[in-house]
Amino acid sequence: MDLNTIPLFTLLQNKLGYLGERERMIAQNVANASTPGYTPQDLKPFSEQPGIKSGPSVAPIAPVALATTDSSQIALESPFGTSGAQSYASTAAPDSETTLDGNQVVMEEQMIKMSDARSDYDTAIGFYQKALAMLHMAVQKPGG
């Protein structure tokens, strides 16, 4: 059984991919907290992402592709295929302050965003696990 044919699982997989990418983007902002002129980035809300639908015709999540950046690295085949990762729409998201060198990253605001993203990720994982348990219960033999 392919879970990508069930809209709930596809939507949850898309949400998890989105949240993982958002955490990566926030980490990038934190890494550039002392870069002069840096403007933090954030993803547009999940509901505004192109190609994300919540109805019965939800598109399956795109597989993650593994990349090598050096010829000495061993190229591995991804267990999910190699058709490329889902791309999400991002936008400049300046924080509330700007330093004298033009940097607009406020660490406290980035940590709040990271905490929110992590909380949303944990919630989505919980929904995914509950949906799997419900599906497992539905296919079990009665009394077994």
- pLDDT interval class at 3 (50, 70, 90): confident
Mean pLDDT of 111-123: 95
Count of helix runs (H) and strand runs (E) in the chain: 2, 2
Model pLDDT, residue 86: 65
Residue, of 111 and 50, whose pLDDT is higher: 111
What does the alpha-carbon distance between residue 118 and residue 141 come to, in Å, rounded to a whole number?
Answer: 37
Average pLDDT in the 95-107 region? 89
Q: What is the DSSP letter of 66?
A: P
> How far, in whole angstroms, is CA 112 from its chain's centroid?
17
Per residue in 9-61, pLDDT tens? 889 999 999 999 999 999 999 999 999 999 999 988 888 877 765 544 444 44
Return d(Cα 56, Cα 65) in angstroms, integer.
Answer: 27
Residue 84's pLDDT is 41
Mean pLDDT to the nearest integer, 114-141? 93
Whether pLDDT at 96 is above 80: yes
pLDDT (tens digit per residue) in 51-89: 765 544 444 445 555 566 777 766 655 444 333 456 788
Q: Does residue 122 have a pLDDT over 70?
A: yes
Q: Could you give the CA distance from residue 16 to residue 28 in angstroms, rounded to a whole number?
A: 18
Question: Cα–Cα distances in Å, from 16 out to 22, 89, 124, 127?
Answer: 10, 15, 7, 11
Residues 6+ apart with CB under 8 A from 95: 40, 104, 105, 106, 109, 110
